[in-house]
Structure 1
Amino acid sequence: MGLGDEKYILLTTFKRDGTAVPTPVWSVPLGDREIGFWTSSGSGKAKRLAHTDRVIVQPCDARGNVNDGSEPVDATARLVEGDELEAIRVKVNDKYGFMTKITKVLGTIGGIVKRNRIPYGDRGVVITLPE
């Protein structure tokens, strides 16, 4: 099973000072050595990926606990919009279904409570795995 087939992967992005920031995310296979997910343009992930394409990925559970026996993989990632984002949206909706509606509602409620509303899933991320 490839990383794109996992329910969650632990995506580690890096701050400008090199500090690692791990975050569990959904993932979908996009093709040869590529996996994807969506995020918000206002998320920390998107902000960190805007300045570095270096990421580490590893299978995990919803809380970010890595799967026993799995190894971290160094990869690169890029933010996408347009047709690439639409392809990711279709695959995420097919794979995760009703969960996408629940997370959107929870994100909206959280944004209202925190008074910091950010767009939901308006950017795609394409991760390219090494050969």
Structure 2
Amino acid sequence: MIPEGLRHGRYVSLTTFRKDGTGVATPVWYAVDGAELYVWTREDSWKVKRLRRDSRVLVTACDVRGRVAEGAASAEGTARLIGDVRAIRKLMARKYGWQFWLADLPAALVRLGKRPHLGIAVKFPAAEESL
């Protein structure tokens, strides 16, 4: 179940973990659909490389620069990578509107229409499981 404080923000800090267990936080756009939180990212990003090895994540509400306010909503979850990002792109476009297209379209033109992206779906344990 997605914590209420993570349902409606603009950014979350997505923390993935290195081999030595050190967390690496990255502020990202996200969208929520049903019981999962979705992120759209480049398939060659370091967060994807870390997730291929360890699916644990920590998601925390933050601002555009990744700054986390005291008492910000936070939850641990498990991530999975999604190759077909069409549904995630629609969710992001619906949430971020012209800002999403402003980021996506020029990049697609530079890459000659190719969009080397992956989706990240984060599932959180149900409240009764985390007790």
Question: Normalising by structure 2, what TM-score?
Answer: 0.80
Distance 1:107 1:18, change over 3 A: farther
1:72-113 C-alpha deviation (Å, 9 max, x unpaired): 31111111022xx222111101111121233336768xx9xx
More helix by share: 1
C-alpha separation in 1, matches of 2:46 and 2:118 = 12
Residue from 106, 120, 123 that aligns with 2:118: 123
C-alpha separation in 1, matches of 2:44 and 2:51 = 12
Q: Is the 8 A contact 1:4 1:36 kept in 2?
A: no
Q: Give the SS at the match of 1:77.
A: strand
**Structure 1 outlier segments of 4+, above 6 Å:** none
* Superposition CA RMSD, Å: 2.4
Q: Give the SS at the match of 1:50.
A: helix
Q: Is 2:65 aligned against 1:63?
A: yes
Q: How many residues align?
A: 121
Q: Give the SS at the match of 2:78.
A: strand
Point out where structure 1 has 5 or more consecutive residues left out of the alignment. Answer: 112-118
Distance 1:50 1:99, change over 3 A: same
Q: Give the SS at the match of 1:18.
A: coil
Point out where structure 2 has 5 or more consecutive residues left out of the alignment. Answer: 127-131
Could you tell me which residue of structure 1 aligns to residue 129 of structure 2? none
Identity %: 38
Q: Is the 8 A contact 2:93 2:101 kept in 1?
A: no
Residue from 48, 51, 69 that aligns with 1:49: 51
